[in-house]
Structure 1
């Protein structure tokens, strides 16, 4: 994994395989930002080269030049920052994050990279370093040949900001997100409930993180009354697992539960998906991967918050033992659920884990899941949806996620939609009609969030619930289009940066 460093030295004097600088678009022409720190000979050379190549400096455009006079780096990359003026550097961290990522994606054998993008604040430095780290990610190819070494070995951000902890945090976050991506990109014949659980156990042991891992197999799940996860996984030869990752630092300032959907492959069950819709269903465990990576990062950074991650792992397949539409399933805690569509399986495994998480009485519960196609219809492929039973928590998570480079949008849980889950056959149906599908899924999950210990309901009022938020990442967890910014094709690692930042706010 790459190492990250900060340097106050003149970027032109730093030995590197590549030096990245920024340019803005002025009347459609790439113009170097003032204060770039390059000697006059280098600036003049690059100005001429940019004009010759017709560079425009539109956002994320990358131009590459070799043998730039006065620069020690072997290659200079000029990355576009969008429309601006030579004297006005962009301050939006997301612009810097995407620019650094776009530059890193173009590198092939340049192992040592220096980034001299405008970084007047710690937030800007973090964005540049995180973008470069994420942009350098490569999918682990399964090949008979030796796997290539990582493309980027060292990331140095040229900046006047002095923050000793910043580089370390970027390294931990970058490695955690890359692990999340590796898990999501792994083929489903290799990543299934038990192998996912083994991967978590091995990673914790490898990193020597102070995390306790417990794995519940199908027998333990049956004994514990986890009817939802058992129903979803009962048709697979690879039985379900519920993995609990517990990090409890001394003097913890809060206790947070994270719940992640971990459907290692989703065929749709008896309500089988069209063939084309199955091609990306190895990513249906992206929520669980994000939770696992976040707990690991929190422990490595010694965040003073107790965190318990619940990974709901199952394979939704079909055989003679598959669960059926019209089945009534008894969940953890005793609530009965009528199944209406076996392809709405994620909420079944999540509901069991939410009930379990509630039993430990955390200060807040946050779940994350590739839950509904309706999320993509509402918000597209780059923005996640956040729903909650607590307005302040919803707004906070949406703001923190967006600030961490993972755009999120707050969505409501309208009371009138609850009636769509009424059924005469059970306590609740697990799915509503076609309208507001993302919201009714959130409403269903909210029913399994418990009451804080010691809390009492006011006369005529429902019992209070533990503060809870639901993050639907059906769109942004997977990129099946061309890479952009710091986002590669395939697994994106969405959710790790946001969840880690949320935990840090509790500290």
Structure 2
């Protein structure tokens, strides 16, 4: 999707639609500026009120006027971020097969929402039809913004996020028979070939992990015929600064292992690698935007399957950190691949570490699918992530990682169990990870509720790529 700024509100070209956001409180005045002949008469006949998400398409008002698409804001002064997402989908759904180019008049939209709306339009334009025999092709290629408070720099940054977020969504939407640990490793190598001046990739196989002592990770991957991988991507490694390290859970399919999940909805467990997909998407967006910041991405890639080689409930493993874990539930596997990876990345001397994981159903129960769960004992880091979430409208909500919860992980036979009982499941999962992150500043994002949608709209969302890109951009500006 090409994004640019135009100084021309109307442009008569084949395949171009003029889209105007309309404030119901300023409807008469706005219509006077649009290419509508006899607006009073038109209003009476059409009964158009510019209520929220009320649309009206007008084709060829005259030989010199472009096709016009009106989109109601309702009361513009009362508009909110979540409503802009709905408007963006309405525009894209209505025009993506009719227009090659949209000229979008933002003059009625409050200035503080221009960036959010442009980003929402790119997100709404995504489609995934790779495996459909009859593909529906969209013709929309370009959006030009008129009367906007967007800069070319902002649009370039949005375009970079768009490419990174689409990459994440494409990876997340791949089925488990295509996307397995080796596949994610291959995608990292392909990305490095595309940006050889910016990226360096290192891949650990299971032999490497065994020699290092990453036994918690191997306890998950050993049940599958698809071997696990730890994939390290170093962006701008030449910069003389400590890196921000992003660690992504990459469980390419999660059956639950011996603690097998119910059949209903198990198809969605292909999305359990969306943390790793997020890291790959952020790295792509960084390469597209060329932000001057040193970042290391680490993908903890495994498939969790039941087999004769699979870990049993009650097994005890020694992690790379030397701490021992009693595996009480093999379906709490994400924290096992993450804990060893979080220990491994200490060798990069991180400035801070953020892990991203579809970790717990408990987080979905607590927060639904609106915001991601944020856990950190570092108030400054947590506040920076919260701020970046508001700026990108990819929001988070902070939950505790208090020491009070740690005793729920106690085991009589090991240093800890890998689950903490019925209560506070998202919190105890974060507390488990916290035991492996004492050497650096750390935050955990539980994206189990936000990484994908269910039902008829099933598919990866690409969150939290916008949040993390905004967070990294803010660090560059600081």
Q: TM-score, normalised by structure 1?
A: 0.87
**Closer, same or farther: CA 104–333 of 1 in aligned 2, 3 Å:** same
- Unpaired runs of at least 5, structure 2: none
- Equivalent position to 1:65, from 46, 49, 58: 58
Aligned equivalent of 2:475: 506
CA contact (8 A) 1:42 1:68 kept: no
Matched, 1:167 2:155: yes
In the TM superposition, what is the alpha-carbon distance from 1:442 to its structure 2 partner? 0.5
Aligned equivalent of 1:139: 128
Q: Deviations over 1:404-423 (max 9, x none)?
A: 12121111112211100011
In the TM superposition, what is the alpha-carbon distance from 1:68 to its structure 2 partner? 3.6
Matched, 1:471 2:470: no
Give the alignment's Cα RMSD to 1 decimal.
Answer: 2.6
- Equivalent position to 2:43, from 33, 38, 47: 47
- Equivalent position to 1:338, from 304, 311, 326: 326
In the TM superposition, what is the alpha-carbon distance from 1:286 to its structure 2 partner? 0.7
- Partner secondary structure for residue 19 of structure 1: strand
Aligned equivalent of 2:338: 350
- Partner secondary structure for residue 264 of structure 2: helix
Pick the structure with more helix per residue: 2
- Partner secondary structure for residue 279 of structure 1: helix
CA contact (8 A) 1:359 1:450 kept: no
Aligned length: 475
- Partner secondary structure for residue 371 of structure 1: coil
The equivalences for 1:312-331 within 5 A come to 312-331=300-319
The equivalences for 1:406-485 within 5 A come to 406-451=394-439, 466-481=440-455
Q: In the aligned structure 2, how far is the partner of 1:161 from the partner of 1:47?
A: 29
Q: In the aligned structure 2, how far is the partner of 1:47 from the partner of 1:141?
A: 43
Q: In the aligned structure 2, how far is the partner of 1:167 from the partner of 1:121?
A: 18
Q: In the aligned structure 1, how far is the partner of 2:7 from the partner of 2:214?
A: 55
Matched, 1:126 2:115: yes
- Equivalent position to 1:77, from 56, 69, 81: 69
**Closer, same or farther: CA 316–157 of 1 in aligned 2, 3 Å:** same
- Partner secondary structure for residue 434 of structure 1: coil
In the TM superposition, what is the alpha-carbon distance from 1:216 to its structure 2 partner? 1.2
- Partner secondary structure for residue 385 of structure 2: helix
- Partner secondary structure for residue 182 of structure 2: helix
In the TM superposition, what is the alpha-carbon distance from 1:447 to its structure 2 partner? 0.6
Q: In the aligned structure 1, how far is the partner of 2:84 from the partner of 2:392?
A: 12
Aligned equivalent of 1:456: none
**Closer, same or farther: CA 93–382 of 1 in aligned 2, 3 Å:** closer
- Partner secondary structure for residue 171 of structure 2: helix
In the TM superposition, what is the alpha-carbon distance from 1:352 to its structure 2 partner? 1.2
The equivalences for 1:85-96 within 5 A come to 88-89=76-77, 92=80, 95-96=83-84
Higher mean C-alpha deviation, range 253-262 or range 305-314: 253-262
Q: In the aligned structure 2, how far is the partner of 1:333 from the partner of 1:227?
A: 10
- Partner secondary structure for residue 47 of structure 2: helix
Q: TM-score, normalised by structure 2?
A: 0.91
